[in-house]
Amino acid sequence: MTAYEVAVRAAASLGEGPTWDPAAGRLIWVDVLGSRVHTYDPATGRRTVRTTDQHVGAAKPRAGSGLVLNLRDGVGLLDPDDTFRWLHHEPVPGRRANDAAVAPDGSLWAGTMRYDEAAGGGTLSRLTADGAVETVLPSVAVSNGIGWSPDGNRLYYVDSPTRRVDVFDLDGERAVNRRPLAEIEEGAGFPDGLTVDAEGCVWVALWDGGAVRRYTPDGDLDRVLLLPAPRTTACAFGGPDLTDLYITTARTGLDRPHPVSGSLLVVPGAGKGLPQPAFAG
């Protein structure tokens, strides 16, 4: 078992989307099915919890302060004074938001999925600060981890039921030449959220695998973090030096969840992350 700490002891149903906010010196993460946005300041231990009006797939910092939220019915902007407005409103019965990430150019790449996880029921879209939307992938099942290589020339992506981490080349704003980077073998869990480190390696959390794996840019597995919570969901580097790996976990669907299931975990000094851009809107 990997040496880890419990950063925030919680009982999140579906903890997801850890993101380091360097401007505020805090980690942002969500409980998707609990409709909650959490923040945690490791320097002071201060925590906040905000309830959203609907299921929230991701929350990311904005360049102008506040948060951009990937919600069940679309993408919205939350100001520091709690004023909310829709940036893109597109409710689809039976569908909800899932993971999202901010690209180097400040756009938001936001995923969706059906509650029943039906194949082809989800999407991956790119949203700009003015609310313009472009569909990147029109037909996925469970849109999950999204990340970019340090030079911005590659996009990494997970559609969980495929059991793959895929890689695209980026041609301007277009993702092309999709191919597998790594395949998760049967019995090892399903790929979920991911992050890319300063060496260009991809760290991916394994749902029902109780682990986070690190793959090189060539797709070679070179490190495995084993954790007691079977439903590890996503990971991100944080802290002032971006060397601590924060890992979200889930309790949903477990008859006997581990005591740390639903908590925010951290592996200090796990590696070196990349600074994450804020959404331009």
Q: Which residues are catalytic?
A: 192
| Contact yes or no for 86/78 (Cβ under 8 A) | no
Report the alpha-carbon distance of residue 228 to residue 235 in Å, rounded: 15
Closest alpha carbon to 232 in 255, 261, 271? 261
Which of 26, 35, 34 lies closest to 7, judged by CA? Answer: 26
Answer yes or no: are the C-beta atoms of 1 and 14 closer than 8 Å. no
Helices (H), 163-223: none
Q: Residue 220: which H helix or E strand, with range?
A: none
**Residue matched to tokens 């993101």:** 19
- Encoding tokens for residue 40? 């945690």
Biggest alpha carbon–alpha carbon distance for the chain = 47
Of the candidates 58, 59, 40, the residue with the CA atom closest to the CA atom of residue 48: 40
Q: CA nearest 19: which of 47, 44, 38, 2?
A: 38
Residue 259's contacts (CB-CB under 8 Å, 6 or more residues apart) are none
Which amino acid, residue 26? R
Could you give the CA distance from residue 7 to residue 220 in angstroms, rounded to a whole number? 30
